[in-house]
Structure 1
């Protein structure tokens, strides 16, 4: 797998507590698995990986250090705990989950660099940062910021952060890409779903992929997992994209 790119669509695992769901997703083609310490399911992800008939080296596994573990020693200790739960010698991507509570860029980020230098993590990421916080992090870190994960969907389009990511060659990873089902209530997406013989959620995912963002939808249904993965094959025209970009409503789901 290239070191500077991610698969078009990954698997968000928040709320998934069945290892077989993870295994099924892997076997149907998902290669990017996203979890976090606060999700309390890193062991579920491990068991899913063990159940799936796919080599570890073909998978890209990401987790996140929660806000109360961002003091330097806690970063190191909690990451070792995450690796143990995941059953991995190293994790492909480790995020600062949110720049709050114990986060101090000058204290927290050198611990991420240390893990990177030790080979315990392949890439450093951040999540829910502002452009200013990204710039500060970039100044402090020795390792490049490989990915920035944020809420992003047709009702919260993140144009500034997308532009920032493009300028700095950073993957912008989109969580809640179907806005917790809100996309099914958008006539603009319903119209495009009919045009492309797709679902509204697939249109939302295709819109993200077309811009170069990496959506990580989650689902407890194998049918929906397959539909989500297939969304990468939908080709939206510039007029289709403009129709979604022209939605005049905004709804942020997470503060």
Structure 2
């Protein structure tokens, strides 16, 4: 049986005289308040580049800029490898729908080599996952039902002076972690302005960047286990804020970091 995540990130190669182009289709299971969940769109891009016949290595970085909401239905992703070096490869892409560009971005793929290594910063230390109750989001946020979310701090229960959320997170139903799924998880943090105000507000991601630190072996070792996820905002004002997140695996392995810019409106606007 195909997992709903794989259904939602399926692409079909199109004949094109110009750039390498694939077609994707939004999936109702990953609907957001407006348009599809941004994480599933980013994951689809990673899957499409990974499946390209000329791809080099695995994802290292992805930036996707959402110029307009994606409507329900089909959309097209045009990919171009603009330079391939010995160990890294640089891509640009556009997402089009109804003859309009709705998103742009870049991706870097590459070959990982054994070198000196260290991780600065500490993984969040959480109670055992089974000791933390799962949390549901409202029904109108469909994508959240595809994740098992167990908040230790920062669930959306009341306004807070601290925008930090830390939680156990995994696909629901459980699914072995891979690069597309990890991509989607880096956008699974609700906008930090919700937590500061203790309520849902008009908000949406403008630009999402993900840095992939995990190797294939580390993802395989993680399997379908829950990851530790933490995020916080930095500055809020003038209709925008940024938020920074980390995804940690077993054995305190840092799998990915993410930074995004989000727009918001006050409830009265």
TM over 0.5: no
In terms of fraction of residues, the more helix-rich structure is: 1
Q: TM-score, normalised by structure 1?
A: 0.24
Structure with the larger strand share:
2
TM-score, normalised to structure 2, is 0.23
